[in-house]
C-alpha cells in the first residue's frame, strides 16, 4: 500500500511488522515497554520476546545476537530501566556491534513535573550510540526505525537508541497512515562493500611486496566484513604473517602457520614479538587502539605502517601512514590478491623462518601450563582442552579480565568455520552474550568462557536460558575470586598485599554446577583436567543450557604482555 490510502494503523502493528520484515527473530527486554507492540508481535510474528533479569543483560544478549549473526540485536527497557540498558550498550559501542535499543521516555504534557521514575535519559545514550533519537509522533516510527537499521549496520557498525514517547513508549498505541516499509539490505552487516581506489590498493600492495618483514594486524573490521578467507589467501600469496586484535581473533585459525596470535595487551608473546620485529605493519579493520597496540608500544609509533579501513576517520589516527586504503575489507583484500606478485615472497623467506620459530618458542615456553595436570586445574589447560575439543562450527564467547587473557593468548581456533567473540572490557558480558549468540544461531554450538566474578553478574539469567531453552554451554573458570586483581593490589600495597586485602577480590566458595541444577540447567562440576573434554561433550550433547563449573587455582596468573 502506498501512502495516501487513508488506512490508519497503530504504531504497534507497524513496528511488529517491520521487525519481522527485517528478519528479527528475538528481542531481549525487561517489561514493561511497548506493551501493545508485544501483543502485536505475538499476533503477527514468530519473534521470541525474551524477557530477562536485567536491562544490562538484555543489552548484552542483543549484542551477542548481533555479533554472532551480523543482524542487529534488539533490546528494550521502560523509562526506569533505560540507564541500565545504556550501560549495557557500552560494550557494543566499543566493539562496533549493531545493537538497537528501544526505551520508553517522557511525555511533553508532563515533563519537568516530577513524573514518577522519570529523568532525562537521552544524554546518557549519547556516548554509547552512533544515533540517539526520540520518536514523539507515531507517524515517525517507520522512517526512524529504517534509519536505526541503516545507522547500526553501515560503515563501522554500532548501537542506536530510539526513545519512544511515554514512560512505556505508549505512543505505539496511537494511529496514523503508515507504511511498514523495510529496506532488507540493512538487515545485516555489511549492507555495502565500498570498493577501494585502485591507486591506493597498488600503493599498499607495493609496500607489502617490497617489505622484508611485513606483518598484518587484522581487527574486528575484518570479522564484520566476513573477510577471513580473503585475508588468509592474501597472507599466503605474499607470505606475510598475521596477528589479530582480540576482536578479530577468528579471522585466521590460530593453527595456521602464518598466524602469530593475538597482539597487544591481552595477547600472545609470539604476536607481540613478531609485530615489534616487523619493518612494515598493515592494519586492516583495526582501530589501532590501546588494547591492540599495548598502548602504542606494539608496534612503536613511527614503525612504517599502512592501513585499510571502511571508516575514513580511522585512517592514520594513531600511526603515521605510508599508504591508506578506504574500503570494505573483503573487497580491498580481494583486489590486492588479484594484483599480488607472488614472486616477491622470496624476499621474506628468512622472516617466515623467524615466524615459525616464534610460534614454536611460544608453545615450548607454555607447554607445561597448557598440558598441566596440577590440581586445582591450571586455566591454560582448560584453553588447551578447548582448542582440541571445540566443535568445528562452534561460537566461542569470552569474558574480559583473566578470561580474555587466558583465552586470547592460550586458545586456538582450528577452523575458519569456528567463531570467537569477546567482551570489549565489561566483566559479566559473556554469559548473557552467549545466550544471545545461541538465540541467533541455534544450530551452532555456543561455548562461553568466563571467570567466576564475571559469571556472578548475570547469574539470574540461567533461569532465562532455561525458560527459553537457549542451550548455550558456559564454562566457569572458578577460582573463588577475581584474581586478575591480584597483581594490582600487590602493587597498591607496595609489594605484596596483606592477607586482609584479599577481602577486596575473593568470594565465598561456590559450586555453580549445583546452583545451575537448582535453576533447571545441566550442571557439571569438574575438578580434574581429564574431565574437561568429557564434560564439554556431555554439555553440548544435552541440548539444554549447561554450566560447567571448573575448580581452578586462585594463584594462577595469566602472562602479561611483552613489549
Ligand atoms: C564492569 C567491570 N567492572 C570491573 C572490571 C575490572 N575487572 C577486570 S577483571 C576483574 C576480576 C575478574 O574475575 P573473574 O571473572 O573471576 O576472573 P579471574 O581473574 O578470577 O580469572 C575485574 C573486577 C571490569 N573489567 N568490568
Ligand atoms: Mg575468578
Q: What is the pLDDT of residues 141-191, one digit of tens each?
A: 999 999 999 999 999 999 999 999 999 999 999 999 999 999 999 999 999
Q: Is 91 in the pocket of ligand 1 (CB under 6 A)?
A: no
Please tell me the predicted confidence (pLDDT) of residue 4: 76
Residue 464 in contact with residue 519, Cβ under 8 Å?
A: no
Distance in Å, CA 403 to ligand 1 centroid: 9
Output the residue whose Cα is nearest ligand 1's atom 3.
Answer: 427
Residues 259 and 247: their CA atoms lie apart, in Å, by 15
Cell of 476: 566457569
Q: Report which ligand 1 atom has the smallest distance to the Cα of 399.
A: 15
Q: Which residues contact 389 (CB under 8 A, 6 or more apart)?
A: 532, 533, 536, 537
Residue 400 has pLDDT above 70, yes or no: yes
The string of DSSP codes covering 460-515 is THHHHHHHTT---EEEEEE-SB-TTHHHHHHHHTTSS--SGGGGGTB-----HHHH
Which residues are in the CB-under-5-Å shell of ion ligand 2? 451-453, 479
Between CA 248 and CA 483, with CA 447 as vertex, the angle to 5 degrees is 80
* Ligand that comes closest to the CA of residue 558: 1
Output the residue whose Cα is nearest ligand 1's atom 8.
Answer: 401
Residues 35 and 33: their CA atoms lie apart, in Å, by 5
Q: Is 401 in the pocket of ligand 1 (CB under 6 A)?
A: yes
Dmax of the chain from CA atoms?
76
Query: If you search the block for the grid coordinates 615466524, which residue do you land on?
Result: 355
Burial 186-214 (b: 16+ CB within 10 A, else e): bbbbbbebeebeeebbbbbbbbbbebebb
- For 101-153, what is each residue's pLDDT tens digit? 999 999 999 999 999 999 999 999 999 999 999 999 999 999 999 999 999 99
- For 482-514, what is each residue's pLDDT tens digit? 998 889 999 999 999 999 999 999 999 999 999
In a 3-state reduction of DSSP, which class is residue 420?
strand
Q: Report which ligand 1 atom has the smallest distance to the Cα of 482.
A: 13
| DSSP symbol at 524 | E
Pocket-testing residue among 482, 486, 549, 552, ligand 1, by greatest number of atoms within 8 A of Cβ: 482
Phi, psi of 205 (to 5 degrees): -65, -45
Q: How many CB atoms lie within 10 A of CB 530?
A: 11
Please tell me the predicted confidence (pLDDT) of residue 265: 97
Q: Is 445 in the pocket of ligand 1 (CB under 6 A)?
A: no
Please tell me the predicted confidence (pLDDT) of residue 225: 98
What mean pLDDT comes out for the span 393-409? 97
Query: If you search the block for the grid coordinates 546452583, which residue do you land on?
Result: 515
Q: Is 309 in the pocket of ligand 1 (CB under 6 A)?
A: no
- For 239-250, what is each residue's pLDDT tens digit? 999 999 999 999
Indicate the Cα dihedral angle 248, 249, 250, 252, nearest 10°: 100
Pairing type for strands 259-262 and 280-284 reads unpaired
CA distances, 334 to each of 142, 415, 419, 513, 534 (Å): 37, 21, 21, 47, 41
Residues 86 and 437: their CA atoms lie apart, in Å, by 20
Residue 1 has pLDDT above 60, yes or no: no
Please tell me the predicted confidence (pLDDT) of residue 2: 61
Cell of 186: 540493512
Written in H, E and C, the secondary structure of 185-242 is HHHCCCCCCCCCCHHHHHHHHHHHHHCCCEEEEECHHHHHCCCHHHHHHHHHHHCCCE
Q: How many CB atoms lie within 10 A of CB 522?
A: 21
Residues 409 and 118: their CA atoms lie apart, in Å, by 45
Q: Is 40 in the pocket of ligand 1 (CB under 6 A)?
A: no
Q: Which residues contact 303 (CB under 8 A, 6 or more apart)?
A: 278, 279, 280, 281, 319
Band the pLDDT of 6: cuts 50, 70, 90: confident
Burial 338-363 (b: 16+ CB within 10 A, else e): eebeeebbebbeebbebbeebbeebe
What mean pLDDT comes out for the span 342-359? 97
Which residues, listed in sequence order, are joined to residue 165 by a DSSP beta bridge?
none
Query: If you search the block for the grid coordinates 591508506, which residue do you land on?
Result: 324
Cell of 250: 577468528
Residue 515 in contact with residue 493, Cβ under 8 Å?
A: no
Residues 296 and 322: their CA atoms lie apart, in Å, by 17
Residue 159 in contact with residue 101, Cβ under 8 Å?
A: yes
In the sheet with 160-164, reading across from the earlier edge strand, the strands are: 48-51, 26-29, 73-77, 99-104, 160-164, 131-135
Residues 139 and 116: their CA atoms lie apart, in Å, by 27
The reported pTM is 0.98
Q: Which residues contact 194 (CB under 8 A, 6 or more apart)?
A: 310, 326, 327, 328, 331
Residue 384's nearest CA partner among 548, 559, 218, 530 is: 530
Cell of 501: 586485602
Band the pLDDT of 542: cuts 50, 70, 90: very high
| DSSP symbol at 537 | H
Residue 3 has pLDDT above 80, yes or no: no
Residue 94 has pLDDT above 90, yes or no: yes
Query: If you search the block for the grid coordinates 565465598, which residue do you land on?
Result: 508
Distance of alpha carbon 295 from its chain centroid, rounded? Answer: 20
What mean pLDDT comes out for the span 377-384? 98
What mean pLDDT comes out for the span 293-311? 97
What mean pLDDT comes out for the span 208-226? 98
Band the pLDDT of 445: cuts 50, 70, 90: very high
Helix 532-542 vs helix 379-389: crossing angle, to nearest 10: 50
Which residues, listed in sequence order, are joined to residue 548 by a DSSP beta bridge?
475, 524
List helix spans (H) across 423-474. Answer: 430-440, 452-457, 461-467
Amino acid at each position: 500500500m502506498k501512502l495516501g490510502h487513508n488506512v490508519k494503523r497503530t504504531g504497534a502493528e507497524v513496528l511488529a511488522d517491520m521487525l519481522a520484515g527485517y528478519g528479527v527473530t528475538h528481542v531481549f527486554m525487561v517489561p514493561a515497554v511497548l506493551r501493545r507492540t508485544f501483543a502485536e508481535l505475538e499476533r503477527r510474528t514468530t519473534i521470541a520476546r525474551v524477557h530477562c533479569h536485567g536491562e544490562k543483560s538484555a543489552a548484552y544478549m542483543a549484542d551477542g545476537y548481533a555479533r554472532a549473526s551480523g543482524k542487529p540485536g534488539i533490546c528494550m527497557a521502560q523509562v526506569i530501566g533505560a540507564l541500565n540498558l545504556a550501560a549495557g550498550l557500552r560494550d557494543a559501542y566499543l566493539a562496533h556491534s549493531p545493537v538497537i535499543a528501544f526505551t520508553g521516555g517522557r511525555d511533553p504534557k508532563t515533563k519537568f513535573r516530577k513524573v514518577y521514575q522519570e529523568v532525562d535519559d537521552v544524554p546518557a545514550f549519547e556516548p554509547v550510540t552512533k544515533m540517539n533519537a526520540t520518536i514523539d509522533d507515531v507517524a515517525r516510527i517507520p522512517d526512524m526505525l529504517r534509519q536505526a537499521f541503516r545507522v547500526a549496520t553501515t560503515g563501522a557498525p554500532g548501537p542506536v537508541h530510539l526513545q519512544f514517547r511515554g514512560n512505556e513508549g505508549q505512543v505505539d498505541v496511537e494511529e496514523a497512515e503508515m507504511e511498514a516499509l523495510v529496506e532488507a539490505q540493512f538487515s545485516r552487516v555489511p549492507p555495502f562493500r565500498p570498493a577501494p581506489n585502485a591507486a591506493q590498493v597498488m600503493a599498499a600492495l607495493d609496500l607489502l611486496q617490497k617489505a622484508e618483514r611485513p606483518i598484518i594486524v587484522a581487527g574486528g573490521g575484518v570479522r564484520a566484513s566476513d573477510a577471513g578467507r580473503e585475508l588468509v589467501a592474501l597472507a599466503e600469496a605474499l607470505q606475510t604473517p598475521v596477528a589479530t586484535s582480540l576482536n578479530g581473533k577468528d579471522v585466521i585459525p590460530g593453527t595456521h602457520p602464518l598466524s602469530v596470535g593475538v597482539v597487544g595487551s591481552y595477547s600472545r608473546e609470539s604476536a607481540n614479538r613478531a609485530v615489534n620485529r616487523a619493518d612494515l605493519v598493515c592494519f586492516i579493520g583495526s582501530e589501532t587502539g590501546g588494547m591492540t597496540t599495548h598502548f602504542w608500544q606494539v608496534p612503536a609509533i613511527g614503525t612504517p605502517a599502512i592501513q585499510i579501513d571502511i571508516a575514513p576517520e580511522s585512517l592514520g589516527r594513531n600511526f603515521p601512514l605510508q599508504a591508506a586504503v578506504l574500503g570494505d575489507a573483503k573487497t580491498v583484500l580481494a583486489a590486492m590478491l588479484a594484483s599480488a606478485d607472488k614472486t616477491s615472497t622470496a624476499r621474506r623467506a628468512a622472516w617466515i623462518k623467524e615466524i615459525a620459530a616464534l610460534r614454536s618458542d611460544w608453545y615450548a615456553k607454555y607447554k607445561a601450563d597448557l598440558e598441566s595436570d596440577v590440581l586445582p586445574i591450571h586455566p591454560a589447560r582448560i584453553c588447551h582442552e578447548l582448542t582440541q575439543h571445540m566443535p568445528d562450527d562452534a561460537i566461542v564467547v569470552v569474558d574480559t579480565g583473566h578470561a580474555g587473557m587466558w583465552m586470547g593468548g592460550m586458545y586456538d581456533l582450528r577452523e575458519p568455520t569456528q567463531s570467537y567473540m569477546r567482551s570489549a572490557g565489561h566483566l559479566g558480558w559473556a554469559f548473557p552474550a552467549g545466550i544471545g549468540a545461541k538465540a541467533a544461531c541455534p544450530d551452532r554450538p555456543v561455548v562461553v568462557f568466563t571467570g567466576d566474578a564475571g559469571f556472578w553478574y548475570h547469574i539470574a539469567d540461567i533461569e532465562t536460558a532455561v525458560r527459553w531453552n537457549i542451550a548455550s554451554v558456559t564454562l566457569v573458570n572458578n577460582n573463588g575470586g577475581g584474581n586478575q586483581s591480584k597483581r594490582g593490589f600487590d602493587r597498591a600495597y607496595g609489594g605484596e598485599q596483606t592477607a586482609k586485602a584479599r577481602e577486596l577480590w575473593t568470594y565465598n566458595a561456590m559450586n555453580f554446577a549445583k546452583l545451575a541444577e537448582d535453576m533447571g540447567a545441566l550442571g557439571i562440576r569438574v575438578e580434574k583436567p581429564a574431565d574437561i573434554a568429557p564434560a564439554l561433550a556431555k554439555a553440548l550433547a544435552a541440548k539444554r543450557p549447561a554450566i560447567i563449573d571448573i575448580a581452578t587455582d586462585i594463584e594462577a596468573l595469566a602472562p602479561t604482555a611483552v613489549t
